[in-house]
Amino acid sequence: MSPHDFKRRLVSGETLVAIGAHNGLSARLGEEAGFECLWASGLEISASRGMPDANIITFSEMADAVRNIVESVSIPVIVDADSGYGNAINVIRTVQELEHAGAAGLCLEDNVFPKRNSFYADVTRDIVDAREHVSKIKAAVYARKSEDFVVIARTEGFIVGLGVDEVLERAHAYADAGADAVLVHSKIDNPSEIYAFSARWDREVPLVAVPTTYNSVTVEELRAHGYTMCIFANHGIRSFVSRAREILRQLRESGSASTVEPQLCTLGDLFGLVGFADLKRREVEFLG
């Protein structure tokens, strides 16, 4: 799917489902599984470097990861760009670099810098004044070279305890500033907050949901409540950690690779994922 097709489908209200990715291999697994697009996740990319999701990794590191993801797949990549790595002027550079890297769009959240992951417990939280985030959205729209580059505005209003009226006020301002979609985040274990929001949403701008904590809902249920894009933002890396931890424990305890071999992908499967067949064809063509 081209960036043009992605934006067309997004704004027309077609259902889109994204999976989080942090490198080329995780991106290819997401594409192989049939997801329409990828979410270059700040949490996943930070965690893959052994860092917390708190703007510890630099924008250069993030951009490098995005390039790796984009170059590994043929489906669109939306970048979790946190709060834009600074003010509205910084956002201009952020958009330029990510668009140049081949991303199909980015998401900007109204967290303060440095951000804290929305699900971290017992941390002080605050969000910026809505006017500041409006300036970032306007800067992002200004900076993009192609109209197909998607700008998603994300509000953390529910995360910091705001009511639906205040969250709606923010989202309206972000949509009016030119956002192509609005992501409404929530950390409670049911979708009541985001459903209360969508019931009163009166813009044509599509809505995006991230069902991490309210994980019993389905894509179809979200769509029925007005959310046409769903992001499974961190399930890739969490699945890797869960399975790798258990398999490595078994391997250490047994002392024999045969114990865990049935649980592993074959080497042939791995070679296929990383393009070994293409390498062989190129060797024949160019090396004789």
Examine the residue annotation and report whether 53 is marked as an active-site residue of this protein: yes
Beta bridge partners of 106: 79, 151
In our burial notation (b when 16+ CB lie closer than 10 A, e otherwise), range 21-53 reads bbbbbbbbbbbeeebbbbbbbbbbbbbbeeeeb
List the structure tokens of 122.
């017992």
Find how far residue 137's CA is from the centre of its chain: 17
* Helix (H), strand (E) at residue 79: strand 77-80
Say whether the peptide bond before residue 262 is cis (omega within 30 degrees of 0): no
Question: Measured between alpha carbons, how far apart are the two ends of the chain, in Å?
Answer: 35
List the structure tokens of 197.
């929001």
Phi, psi of 196 (to 5 degrees): -60, -35
Residue with tokens 């996740």: 41
Rg of the chain's alpha carbons, rounded to an integer? 20
* Strand pairing category for 150-155 and 227-232: unpaired
CB 45 within 8 A of CB 90: no
In our burial notation (b when 16+ CB lie closer than 10 A, e otherwise), range 250-277 reads ebeeeeeeeeeeeeeeeeeeeeeeeeee
Catalytic position from the list 53, 82, 110, 148: 53
* Residues labelled as active-site residues: 53
